[in-house]
Amino acid sequence: MTETRPRASFGARLRSAVADRGNLCVGIDPHPGLLEAWGLGVDPAGVAEFSRRALEAFGDLVPAIKPQVAFFEEHGSAGIEVLEEVLSWITSAGALSVADAKRGDIGSTMAGYARAWLADGSPLACDALTVSPYLGVGSLDAAFDAAASTGRGLFVLARTSNPEAGGLQGAVGADGTVAQSVVDEIGRRNSGAFPDDVGSFGVVVGATVADPPVLERLRGPVLMPGVGEQGGTLEDVRRIAGPALRATLVNVSRHVLRAGPDVGAMRAVVTDLSGQFSFADAP
């Protein structure tokens, strides 16, 4: 009987992937406008072809790929079936999958989400999942437990760059801003769950925010959207990430996908960006 070896932690696997492929994370966002621009149908077949071309362009170039779940869900069960295939294709390309689902709930409902996205054997199982802590970080306990036990990871929304976020995430309490309290709690959980290794629990911080939380004690990865068409720059990434720079995934989606549908054109854009966003030598 063949013995199955335990999966290495997401934090360790991400560290290895970043060392090999740099720090760029590219999104797969098959929204209707892009599907039409690529000459594809706004339907499951179009979503599948869009995803296939995207993965052909950069699946072997970047450490992580982030499918935006909403653009698959809107096509119902057929769209979810495509998403299941895409998650499998990402693994086959040697990249890590980050399902951008932003799940967040309480009790048994959160446990259901955790089983769907983080359990071995689930058709939707990904390497890491984005989650929202704004019902309280403790409401995500089922996801933290599932991720740690299966070698997967989480990216917890902390300080996002959408205009509506500032009033809530930047609100100041006894322990600093709400966003800082989220980061600090994720850091504590990393220290408890991964005392001898890099943590698997990360945070999402936008590259365009003027008031980012301090990431010094996070001990885990950072997912940083907002670079490129949204205005974030390499200097912003360095400013915000600080000591977490080596563990930061710089997420770029539209800037790459608008170079499609030509696979070679997208590949050229990703190759250029990968050279810019590679922090293996960061302190």
Percent of the chain with pLDDT over 70: 98
What gap in Å lies between CA 119 and CA 152, rounded to an integer?
A: 9
Report if residue 283 sits inside a domain: no
Report yes or no on 163 lying in a domain: yes
Round the average pLDDT of the chain to a whole number and report it.
95
What's the pLDDT at 174? 79
Structure tokens at 219: 């001990």
Question: Is residue 63 domain-resident?
Answer: yes
**Residues 162-182, buried b or exposed e (16+ Cβ, 10 A)?**
eeebbeebbeeeeeebbbbbb
Distance CA 272, CA 213 (A): 29
Q: What is the pLDDT of residue 3?
A: 43
Task: Tell me the C-alpha distance between 59 and 113, whole Å.
Answer: 26
pLDDT at 140: 98
Active site residues: 102
**251, part of any domain:** yes
- Asked whether residue 222 is assigned to any structural domain, the reply reads yes
Q: For the residues 103-127, what does the mean pLDDT come to?
A: 97
**Shortest CA distance to 66 belongs to which of 38, 11, 28, 101?**
28
Structural domain contains residue 282: no
Token look-up 């802590």 returns 133
In a domain, 126, yes or no: yes
Identify whether 255 is part of a domain: yes
CATH number of the domain that 81 lies in?
3.20.20.70
**Boundaries of domain holding 56:** 12-275
Number of structural domains in the chain? 1
Judge whether residue 126 has pLDDT over 90.
yes
CB atoms within 10 A of CB 52: 16
Percent of the chain with pLDDT over 90: 90
- For 51-64, write each residue's pLDDT tens digit: 999 999 999 999 99
Instruction: Report the first-to-last Cα separation within the chain, whole angstroms.
Output: 45
